[in-house]
Structure 1
Amino acid sequence: MTLATFPWLTAIIFFPIVASAAIPLIPDPDGKGRPIRWYALTIGLINFVMLVYAFYTQYDISSSEMQMVERYDWIPQIGLQWSVGADGLSMSLILLTGFISTLAILASWPVTFKPRLFYFLILAMYGGQIAVFAVQDLLVFFLAWELELLPVYLLLSIWGGYKRQYAATKFILYTAGSSLFILVAALAMAFFGDVVTFDMRSLMAKDYPLTFQLLVYSAFLIAYAVKLPIVPLHTWLPDAHGEATAPVHMLLAGILLKMGGYAMIRMNVEMLPDAHAKFAPALIILGVVNIIYAALTSFAQRNLKRKIAYSSISHMGFVLIGIACFTDLGMSGAVLQMVSHGLIGASLFFLVGATYDRTHTLVLEEMGGVGQQMPKIFAMFTTCSMASLALPGMSGFVAELMVFVGFATSDAYSFSFRLIVVCLAAIGVILTPIYLLSMLREIFYGDENKELTSHEALIDAEPREVFIIACLLIPIIGIGLYPKIMTQVYDAKTSQLIARIRTSVPSIVQAATPTTEQQAVLLSQGVSQAPRL
């Protein structure tokens, strides 16, 4: 076996899972998990190095096809295979998963309660989340989707805050319940027609009638709306974030939410393009609702974790708009927004955890005047907040700008509809700096809490914390200054996706364009001749 034929994706998925099984064998003399955390960090780093090496040596960024494909028969009686592969869409999120998961292990340094179980679950999640982005068999995808829920549930219910049992139960009920829709849709697609298969490429090639597509699309949409999340199926997220520890925050915001966006593009858009053309206006409206509602709710929150959680929900609204705007630029912006928010969300939630470790409170009224005692945390919190509010020069600005311009120049919707959507989405963009800057003022400025600022535990950031934030800020600023660093990974794939679904755009043009004259011009030119962005 050569490096070219080595099963890289399978190894990257199973290495942290198998390695986690050795954690019970590691001696821990003082019971605080020091050897265990070093072991977990080593496994995470090795896996990430393997991932980066495979990306640079085995992956061709100019190709839109599935690469690094590995197929092994599992249950051939029902056509079930272990099938993994990576294209631009999945590879960008696999890289994000490896990066965030490795940093989350380093962020877990203060954990001393049941360290064996904690790091076992973190490593198991590492492999499971990569599997969600890599598997190319729909039934195996469902299994990977389900299996990664258990570690999150345990991490919330054991190491969470005061209401951890409630938050963990709500999380598992929402996500596991919605997953049943994936199973039903997968079985319906697999048994449709003469050939029974769960292979995604084969399922994509089947000729589904529109009514069938609409039903399957609805099932997928419900499942992925919970994970993305989309209002009103979002209420599990603020509770989960409100009780989670810093490393679990990073995994939730940095990776878990992106699974919903990825699956929606992979299945709703790529496999069911005709149904997507019908649902696209609804996705646009849901995206606008997400942006405005979550921004307003975040503005009203007095709990720091819940404020950032609702901010995450608001930013995911741009992903929905980008998915539904039928332009290369918009779709590229949606993927970049997922990557960007993964980095920014992980950094903010890590800093929230670091601040809580020192102040022992999440209530904004009880904070204030800690900026002088913690200048490094103040500087990092401010920089990451600037990234979240889409400051030019950072990744959030580029991603949101691409979505705005991609939608504003889409020929699939009337001018009046585009104008209304852009103006409404801009309200969320305006609200974001208001609630983030006011948050910074209340934490680090405001009326000084004498009892808090005189506390001995109110120390500044340690080198480990500075290193984690620096690792996250480097790609945030790098993408903001030179977006091609990331967009070139998936541009070929997003262009292929748009080319596939453009054949379904006339149905939206007919519904959205107010005059018959405009309809006639667009239809006479042909959608395939519409300008590419």
Structure 2
Amino acid sequence: MDLTHFPWLSTSILFPIAAALLLPIIPDKDGRTVRWYALVVGLLDFALLVYAFYTQYDFSNPGLQLVESYSWVPQLDLKWSVGADGLSMPLILLTGFITTLATLAAWPVTLKPKLFYFLLLAMYGGQIAVFAVQDMLLFFLVWELELIPVYLLLAIWGGKKRLYAATKFILYTAGGSLFILVAALAMAFYGDTVTFDMRALMDKHLPVNLQFWLYAAFLIAYAVKLPIFPLHTWLPDAHGEATAPVHMLLAGILLKMGGYALIRMNAEMLPDAHAYFAPILVVLGVVNIIYAALTSFAQRNLKRKIAYSSISHMGFVLIGIGSFTDLGLSGAVLQMVSHGLIGASLFFLVGATYDRTHTLILDEMGGVGKQMPKIFSMFTTCSLASLALPGMSGFVAELMVFVGFSTSDAYSSTFKVIIVFLAAIGVILTPIYLLSMLREIFFGPENKELTSHEALIDAEPREVFIVACLLIPIIGIGFYPKLLTQVYDAKTQQLTARLRDSVFTVAQRPQSTTASTLPSFLPLGIKAQSLQAPTLGDR
């Protein structure tokens, strides 16, 4: 049977949403039927994605695959248009994997279980749509719709300050989304034709000054979601009040939406403007790494400590995007997937620890390692992955970013030395705050009241299974990175060549009346005149 024209992506988006709509009519008194229903739906959708990936996806093709396009509003050329390439396919699979495990992690939820699983399944389809849609207006709509389930999951099932955290989340992210809408409309209506199709927008010859302002608008929106300093403050508050499955979705998928959109919209669609902004992204990446690492070191709340750790790790994504090398960009994509797995595992274990200790304050913990040896072992392993221990995916991703940026011929040697030196400081700080965190939780002065509590039991099989599922790809990618990099190598090579052509063109362009209205960021480090053709080794 020929399944080439089967609507794989549309089905994977709409199936969990349609299944969520059936939840209210499912007879269930204690929530058991609902949670099994949600888990089966998640597994089926993930199985569909995996099957489509292994049977229909071609690693060597850098273009869009699994393409579907259906007319929606012909007058505006607005279509239900979806597709996947090397940038989106790994993140689509990550979404299915993390969301299915988050559904299993939500097993203890007893408050309004039908609504809780409804929101999880609705997010499932919405997040896949963010990575798959190829229409700018449709992208804005699914980006906005995905915010509603997160807001409700925080506001209803969060901690004591849940309403504050949920409101701050929605204000930051919805406010940033307005910039996406304005920029999308400007791109669509510029020129003689009106279109929201991303491929058609890439072919529009936008003037550099317009690209500059479009890039700035997109950057503000995606800086909120990634997040980038100083638009990051919603994340520690959201993580501080969220439950374990919501943590997994925030750290594992939501932050990756910002990184993906920054590559897709800013770098790929506005390459001339990227030549101006790339050094700024690199500097912001270093600020993220050092600032968040220092702030994490000072946190006494366990959830907020891991949240700032996530912000720090996202700094490497920015450096990779601004590197102008295939290796650096490949490292950025690998870092997004790697952190999605590691962040989800750490936050799940934070939730499991809180369920037993009923505290998030490190000063109130201590000496629980003997009572919970399995949780201690899993927490230690995941923390080692987060601090980029060799043999783990985080090490490979950060090494690729470092080497990719260091070998870039788009920047001066002085600029590269400064950036690498400062980023290395963040790398040194990471094991300090993570290992000290482990010591304070599982060793240190014993809290007699805590260690004598009867609820202080070790990990149950469900929890061990969830963490094991996350550790398998973390270690697998760490030992054999090509397991993942081969999925997107063709795409990152194509995109890097496009970016290098653009920065060379910008550097050689004579100062015209239009171009002279732009602030020049090139002195920050770019020396594009010396750019050579990309040298792409076999990784």
Superposition TM-score tier, normalisation by shorter sequence: over 0.9
Aligned to 1:5: 5
**Superposition deviation, residue 367 in structure 1:** 0.2
Aligned to 1:495: 493
**Superposition deviation, residue 506 in structure 1:** 3.1
Aligned to 1:529: 533
Residue correspondence of structure 1 range 33-432 to structure 2 within 5 A:
33-432=31-430
2:497 and 2:534 in contact (8 A); partners too:
no
Name the count of aligned residue pairs. 525
* CA distances 1:302-359 after superposition (whole Å, capped 9, x unpaired): 0000000000000000000000000000000000000000000000000000000000
What SS does the aligned partner of 1:16 have? helix
Shift in alpha-carbon separation, 1:384–1:509, aligned structure 2, 3 A: farther
Please tell me whether residue 23 in structure 1 is matched to residue 23 in structure 2: yes
What is the rounded CA distance, in whole Å, between the counterparts of 1:281 and 1:38 in structure 2?
49
What SS does the aligned partner of 2:191 have? coil
What is the rounded CA distance, in whole Å, between the counterparts of 1:483 and 1:274 in structure 2?
31
1:226 and 1:234 in contact (8 A); partners too:
yes
What is the rounded CA distance, in whole Å, between the counterparts of 1:228 and 1:457 in structure 2?
37
**Superposition deviation, residue 531 in structure 1:** 3.2
- Letter aligned with residue 421 of structure 1: I
Aligned to 2:456: 458
- Letter aligned with residue 73 of structure 1: S
1:249 and 1:350 in contact (8 A); partners too:
yes
What is the rounded CA distance, in whole Å, between the counterparts of 2:207 and 2:277 in structure 1?
15
Shift in alpha-carbon separation, 1:247–1:89, aligned structure 2, 3 A: same
Shift in alpha-carbon separation, 1:528–1:415, aligned structure 2, 3 A: closer
- RMSD, matched Cα: 1.5
What is the rounded CA distance, in whole Å, between the counterparts of 2:418 and 2:532 in structure 1?
26
What is the rounded CA distance, in whole Å, between the counterparts of 2:505 and 2:71 in structure 1?
40
What is the rounded CA distance, in whole Å, between the counterparts of 1:360 and 1:455 in structure 2?
10
1:322 and 1:403 in contact (8 A); partners too:
yes
What is the rounded CA distance, in whole Å, between the counterparts of 1:87 and 1:528 in structure 2?
26
Aligned identity (percent) is 78
**Superposition deviation, residue 532 in structure 1:** 3.5
**Superposition deviation, residue 528 in structure 1:** 4.9
2:409 and 2:532 in contact (8 A); partners too:
no
What is the rounded CA distance, in whole Å, between the counterparts of 2:310 and 2:370 in structure 1?
28
Aligned to 2:513: none
* CA distances 1:36-83 after superposition (whole Å, capped 9, x unpaired): 000000000000000000000111011101000000001111110000
2:73 and 2:79 in contact (8 A); partners too:
yes
- Letter aligned with residue 431 of structure 1: L
Aligned to 1:442: 440
2:23 and 2:34 in contact (8 A); partners too:
yes
What is the rounded CA distance, in whole Å, between the counterparts of 2:413 and 2:95 in structure 1?
38
TM-score (norm 1): 0.97
**Superposition deviation, residue 25 in structure 1:** 1.3
Unaligned runs of 5+ in 2: 509-520
Shift in alpha-carbon separation, 1:450–1:507, aligned structure 2, 3 A: farther
**Superposition deviation, residue 530 in structure 1:** 4.7
Unaligned runs of 5+ in 1: none
**Superposition deviation, residue 512 in structure 1:** 5.8
Aligned to 2:515: none
What is the rounded CA distance, in whole Å, between the counterparts of 2:344 and 2:531 in structure 1?
40
What SS does the aligned partner of 2:70 have? strand
What is the rounded CA distance, in whole Å, between the counterparts of 1:335 and 1:251 in structure 2?
18
2:323 and 2:404 in contact (8 A); partners too:
yes
